[in-house]
Structure formats: structure tokens, C-alpha cells
Amino acid sequence: MTMNDPVRIDVGDLGRTAVLMGGDSAEREVSLMSGQGVLDALRALGVDAHAFDPAAQPLCDLRTQGFARAFIALHGRHGEDGTVQGALELLRIPYTGSGVMASAIAMDKVMTKRVWLAEGLPTPRWVCLGAGQRAREELQAVPDALGLPLIVKPAREGSSIGVSKVLGYSQMQDAVTLAARHDADVLCEEFIEGLELTCPVLGQGASARALPVIRIDAPEGRYDYQNKYFTDVVAYRVPSGLAPAEEEQVQRLTLAAYQALGCRGWGRADLMLRASDRRPFLIEMNTSPGMTGHSLVPMSAKAAGIDYPQLCLQLLAAATLDGAAARGGL
């Protein structure tokens, strides 16, 4: 079954469903909120859905407890990075979202950039600092290469955790130290001045489609962890207000980025639209996006005529395994 399948979904065919939520990543709190929203929506539609926290019980219990499929509402490490996906493959339990390889690549921002560049897709210039690259002269060379301001972030983390905007050479050390608390590899990225955008995708392969673009207006450009999930100071514009041709360009680019990584089920690309020339740049791909009250995929889906419960149901119905996905479904 694909995301574009017009056939009515019979919840009785979905079987006992585990909503994986919580976990042990830095995004546990957000995952619990996402998972609870999904759980409530699926139960309201009659799905035999149950909460399952991998931090509290082993994944092998999914098999012994008779779960037929899993909705992954985990974020970050051990949830979005291919590890849980690999475990579910071994347990032969179909799951929502991207498979092992796409999940692992998308979680690694440096590897994601390498794939996109190989495909000719635009992404900001960057420098990756490994664990042994913390000398003062190495840090000072980064602004020389990328210019100022620049962005410093962990190579494998989400929800803007450990991210800093560096305005001067003197801030490099603190920014790298903060990012390194979350990952041994630190990504330093060219700062793109312009509009912050995000665009979800539903489906797989040639049938995948991009949903409406959302423009994010954060106070002083601070779209950080706190403002993302725990305040109402950020404005989300959908319709985005972009010119139709620009909206279509962003959607085409997002779709190409999603397909280049081999994503399936759903995902959400974050982008910047450069003010100087209105050129879009890919920042990252999220393969297990948030499903909280502040989350962007439900917001965009609603604008496309898909309400939150139906979105959850469609995602669950599209759950599959890597081999089955390659053959076109379960």
C-alpha cells in the first residue's frame, strides 16, 4: 500500500500495533509527545495500538507480545538512525518510515550532504571537524573557509540540539565544545541568510509527493529546541507566501533530495531560501519527523486536506520492510 492509495484502510487488517516512543536519545521528551499524539489518534480510529518504550523494555518483546507492525515515533539516535529499523527487520515486523540505509544516511548530516552533492543538489558549504581536530589554528581556519556568520552543529543530532550561530572567531571554541557534547564529529556550515522553510514528503519512489511548503518565522531567527516545542512565539506560514514558481521549485528540490537518499513512507526536508538570489539550499532531511502539537508535517498535511488521525493511519498502513518495499509493498 502506498501513501497515494485511494482504497479505504480497514483498521482490522493492521493488527496489533506498537507505537515506539520515548527511547534514550536527547529527543526523548519530544518523542514521548509525538508518540502520545499518534497513539491517541490511532486508538480513536479503532486501531489496536499500544505504547512501547524501547528504553523500558527490549525490542524482542515486540515479537513475544504479538505486535504485527510498528509506528516509529522515536527521534534521534536509536530511533531515527537505522538501528531500530535494523532490529525490526530482524524481527520481521513492518515499520513506518524509511529503511535502514536511508535512515542511517539521513541521520548523518555530513553523509547526507555528500549524497546530495553527488546528485547535484544544492546544500551550504561545510567543514567537518573530527574528534582530533580541535586545535586553535584548525578552528580559526573554519571561518576563513566558510565566512561569518556560520552554523556549528553535531553531525548526528536533531531538534536543533547543540546548534550555535557563530558571529566571530572568538565564539568558535565554545560552539564546537557545545556541539561535541552530542557527537564526536562537528559540522560547521555556511550560513545562508534568507527565509527558513520546511517541506514534508509522503510516499515512496515515483509515487512520492511533496506537501505544501511551510515558512518559519522565528523571533530573531531563533528556531531552537525551546521555541520549536515549548513556546508559541514562532509563526508558521502555510500557505508559505512564496511565489507559485518558488513553491514548486522548493517542492521539486525536496522530492529529489528525498529520493536521492532512498527515503520512503514520509520525511521532511529543512531548507533555506537565500535572500540575495532566492535560491533554495537543502539543510537536512528528517526521516522520523515530530508529531507533536507544534509539529510541521501534520500542519502541512492539514493544508493538503489530510487531518492528523488520517495522516497517522496512512503512515501506519504504509508500514513495510526493506525487502517488501523494494518489491512494491507487503
Could you read off the pLDDT of 37-50 as tens digits, one per residue? Answer: 999 999 999 999 99
Joined together, the cell numbers standing for residue 19 give: 507505537
- Going through 163-306 in order, the beta strands assigned E by DSSP cover 164-166, 186-190, 194-202, 209-210, 214-217, 235-237, 266-274, 280-286
Could you read off the pLDDT of 14-34 as tens digits, one per residue? Answer: 999 999 999 998 889 999 999
Q: How many domains does the chain have?
A: 3
CATH number at residue 116: 3.30.470.20
- 6 has pLDDT over 50: no
- Verify that 16 and 92 share a domain, yes or no: yes
Could you read off the pLDDT of 75-113 as tens digits, one per residue? Answer: 988 999 999 999 999 999 999 999 999 999 999 999 999
Domain end, chosen from 190, 213, 232, is at: 190
- Does 322 reside within a domain? no
- Does 153 reside within a domain? yes
CA proximity to 112, closest of 284, 272, 288, 253: 284
282 C-beta neighbours (distance < 10 Å), count:
23
- Verify that 118 and 147 share a domain, yes or no: no
Looking at residue 117, its pLDDT comes to 98
d(CA 153, CA 77): 15
- Does 324 reside within a domain? no
- Write down the pTM of the prediction: 0.92
d(CA 327, CA 305): 29
d(CA 222, CA 273): 16
- Verify that 111 and 235 share a domain, yes or no: yes
Which amino acid, one-letter code, is at 147?
A: G
- Verify that 109 and 242 share a domain, yes or no: yes
Structural domain for 262, as ranges: 105-122+193-314
Could you read off the pLDDT of 180-224 as tens digits, one per residue? Answer: 999 999 999 999 999 999 999 999 999 999 999 999 998 766 655
| Cα–Cα distance list, 245 to 134, 249, 252 (Å) | 43, 6, 10
- Verify that 152 and 214 share a domain, yes or no: no
- Does 75 reside within a domain? yes
CATH number at residue 183: 3.30.1490.20
- Does 49 reside within a domain? yes
- Verify that 115 and 250 share a domain, yes or no: yes
- 230 has pLDDT over 80: no
Which residue in the block uniquely carries the three cell numbers 522565528? 218
- Verify that 111 and 243 share a domain, yes or no: yes
- Verify that 131 and 268 share a domain, yes or no: no
- Verify that 215 and 310 share a domain, yes or no: yes
Average pLDDT over residues 292-310: 94
- Does 323 reside within a domain? no
CA proximity to 202, closest of 259, 119, 122: 259
Looking at residue 178, its pLDDT comes to 95
82-89 long-range contacts (CB < 8 A, ≥24 apart) are 82/107, 84/20, 84/54, 84/59, 87/59, 88/59, 88/62, 88/321, 89/321, 89/322
- Confidence class for position 225, pLDDT limits 50, 70, 90: low
- 328 has pLDDT over 50: yes
- Verify that 172 and 305 share a domain, yes or no: no
Average pLDDT over residues 48-59: 97
CA proximity to 191, closest of 214, 221, 211, 213: 221
Looking at residue 101, its pLDDT comes to 98
d(CA 255, CA 257): 5
- Does 294 reside within a domain? yes
Average pLDDT over residues 155-159: 80
- 4 has pLDDT over 70: no
Domain end, chosen from 172, 190, 208, is at: 190
DSSP secondary structure letter of residue 236: E
If residue 86 lies in a helix (H) or strand (E), which one and from where to where? helix 83-91
Looking at residue 160, its pLDDT comes to 78
Looking at residue 262, its pLDDT comes to 97
CATH number at residue 58: 3.40.50.20
249 C-beta neighbours (distance < 10 Å), count:
17
CA proximity to 31, closest of 229, 223, 226: 229
- Does 2 reside within a domain? no
- 5 has pLDDT over 70: no
Domain end, chosen from 138, 168, 190, is at: 190
- Verify that 181 and 239 share a domain, yes or no: no
- Verify that 116 and 249 share a domain, yes or no: yes
Instruction: Supply the residues annotated as catalytic.
Output: 27, 159, 229, 268, 270, 284, 286, 290
